[in-house]
Structure 1
């Protein structure tokens, strides 16, 4: 019996695999969005206990079971996201990560009493739209079958240059920008987190491929390969740095703002890292390049609005009231003008 199937980006997916991938992608967004809230609650509990805040260099949150629950929740979400790519096309899985922004916004308003103003909600929507545009037009990940092939790509001079730039910029931001703007500008900590996170994705993929190949491969033992352990160590270091600066950002800023900005910056930098790693930008069409540029502009506009107007107390009701006042003022002006003319 032949099962029904569909073709996306030149690859064939049967409906069962597509449904499983879709479910995993949605579940991933729910877990990741929830993890931000759980971590924020743990950090608030740490502050109420009189411990040093994470943003000030404190690590008392490591003793909080709730923080570890948030970390495990994020790990489950990332694992589900990784599995989703095996069942569904990347063109579907990656944009669905934007659902984590909505999940976090809803849960933060319910459990953290954090409110987004009207412009903030529009900015979150624009963050999602811009990210989806970028993902749709970005180069799709290439299939890599062996650990050796991936390690060759990781040691390619172009990717090594990207890693060097990321490390250099992280050190500069850590030394020059964190002391001055770390507690006032949300982009400082989240850039470090997202930049290092783009490296984490590449290293995690290599580790997962190495383990999988060692278990099911034909007489292949990557565990004895020094490159495997070097990549695993790099992966652990990147995850530790990423979680540290994410905790600092969550400790200072509202989750409803941290989540969309982190999602956008992380998604954009992962796409850039993947493009450099697999060199698929060379084969992009002009329409896709234009689409990516438009997506970047939307994202930049959204991030600017989130930061510039985050303290402005403004709702849709205020907009309606201002519209009525403006209409009444115009009516009064017309009446006064007609009276002056009649005289």
Structure 2
């Protein structure tokens, strides 16, 4: 492993540690805030006054910055899969701090993620040295990557304009597909901007090149689209299902985009490529196992009454058994308790 790859690897690990910890710290802050007021899930904002929640937010920001810098020093095929380590950190900390039991399958999932990450790190391609943002622009405008970008935009538009209105709330792959495809372009823009910042710090100012600002605009646009549809996915589907599918698709599309744009695998042997793919599959398997063992949060009841049909009257007998009154029935027995619809008094 080269020194730049090792630097990127360390930053990716640090990023995962901070991001994984931030989830637990913020959840702890949310729990403390909910003890004094309404929960965030029902519109409460008391967590904004909770210092622990802000500690978690700052921790997440530090982790995201470390992840951003990691893309400067290492290829996306190395940095992106290591994001699974944050899940391990969250699972372990949740066991000790939130009293969420770490099951045997969770341990297996953690081990698979660690083994897969090790394989990916050992067989990751070296980061190519770039001396200006113009070189990155040439890579971004090569026919192969332009074809990928055009295909990605076309598929995204199809999903947004046709599939989302019809199947978005029933098919989990619609929203997640949009996030994953656009996410791959986000990472490419992040890497380009990161390299531009690095070169600028080293003395070669890249702010004078218009290509730098194009990458910035692409990044901002992609991030807004990505966050919008990720929120839609989380709002409509269980997080335990969304997370592994999103991680799998996002990682796959990012590696594909990076391989096309930066030619990460050029010069690598077939055995190294196959080994890295096996490592990636191992990480995906571990991630899926970790999320499959999570129990969904119990829904919060906002209404103690259940709507009843206006065409029938239900009664509860003294022994607890229900009895429905029919039109031809006489008055109910004396020992029956009437269940009145909630809109009776409206």
**Other-structure match for 1:278:** 262
**Other-structure match for 1:144:** 130
**Other-structure match for 2:90:** 104
Correspondent of 1:75 among 26, 44, 61: 61
Distance 2:76 2:153 in 1: 28
Q: Which has the larger radius of gyration?
A: 2
Give the CA deviation at 1:150: 0.5
Instruction: Give the 3-state SS of the residue equivalent to 2:170 in structure 1.
Output: helix
Q: Does 1:298 align with 2:282?
A: yes
Distance 1:92 1:293 in 2: 11
Q: Does the C-alpha gap of structure 1 residues 153 and 75 become closer, same or farther in structure 2, counting only changes over 3 Å?
A: farther
Give the CA deviation at 1:204: 1.6
Q: Does the C-alpha gap of structure 1 residues 111 and 286 become closer, same or farther in structure 2, counting only changes over 3 Å?
A: same
Distance 1:262 1:147 in 2: 30
* Aligned residue-pair number: 286
- Of 148-157 and 259-268, more deviation after overlay is shown by 259-268
Q: Does the C-alpha gap of structure 1 residues 30 and 305 become closer, same or farther in structure 2, counting only changes over 3 Å?
A: closer
Whether contact under 8 Å (1:127, 1:298) holds in the other structure is: yes
Q: Does the C-alpha gap of structure 1 residues 260 and 272 become closer, same or farther in structure 2, counting only changes over 3 Å?
A: same
Q: How does 1:241-320 map to 2 (within 5 A)?
A: 241-247=225-231, 253-254=238-239, 263-299=247-283, 301-302=285-286, 305=289
Give the CA deviation at 1:274: 1.5
Give the CA deviation at 1:137: 3.4
Whether contact under 8 Å (2:20, 2:86) holds in the other structure is: yes
Q: Does 1:202 align with 2:188?
A: yes
Which structure 2 segments of 5+ residues have no match?
A: 297-346
Deviations 1:69-123 (A, max 9, x none): 6565433213223445677899986665443121111234456665564334423
Deviations 1:279-333 (A, max 9, x none): 2334331212322443354355446656766669xxxxxxxxxxxxxxxxxxxxx
- Of 155-164 and 257-266, more deviation after overlay is shown by 257-266
Whether contact under 8 Å (2:105, 2:289) holds in the other structure is: yes
Which structure 1 segments of 5+ residues have no match?
A: 1-7, 54-59, 313-343
Distance 1:240 1:275 in 2: 24
**Other-structure match for 1:56:** none
**Other-structure match for 2:141:** 155
- Of 243-252 and 23-32, more deviation after overlay is shown by 243-252
Whether contact under 8 Å (1:21, 1:87) holds in the other structure is: yes
Whether contact under 8 Å (2:183, 2:223) holds in the other structure is: yes
Instruction: Give the 3-state SS of the residue equivalent to 2:127 in structure 1.
Output: coil
Structure with the bigger percentage of helix: 1
**Other-structure match for 1:232:** 216
Give the CA deviation at 1:269: 3.3
- The two structures have a TM-score, normalised by structure 1, of 0.62
Q: Does the C-alpha gap of structure 1 residues 290 and 144 become closer, same or farther in structure 2, counting only changes over 3 Å?
A: same
Larger RCO, structures 1/2 (Cα 8 Å, 6+ apart):
1
Whether contact under 8 Å (2:11, 2:70) holds in the other structure is: yes
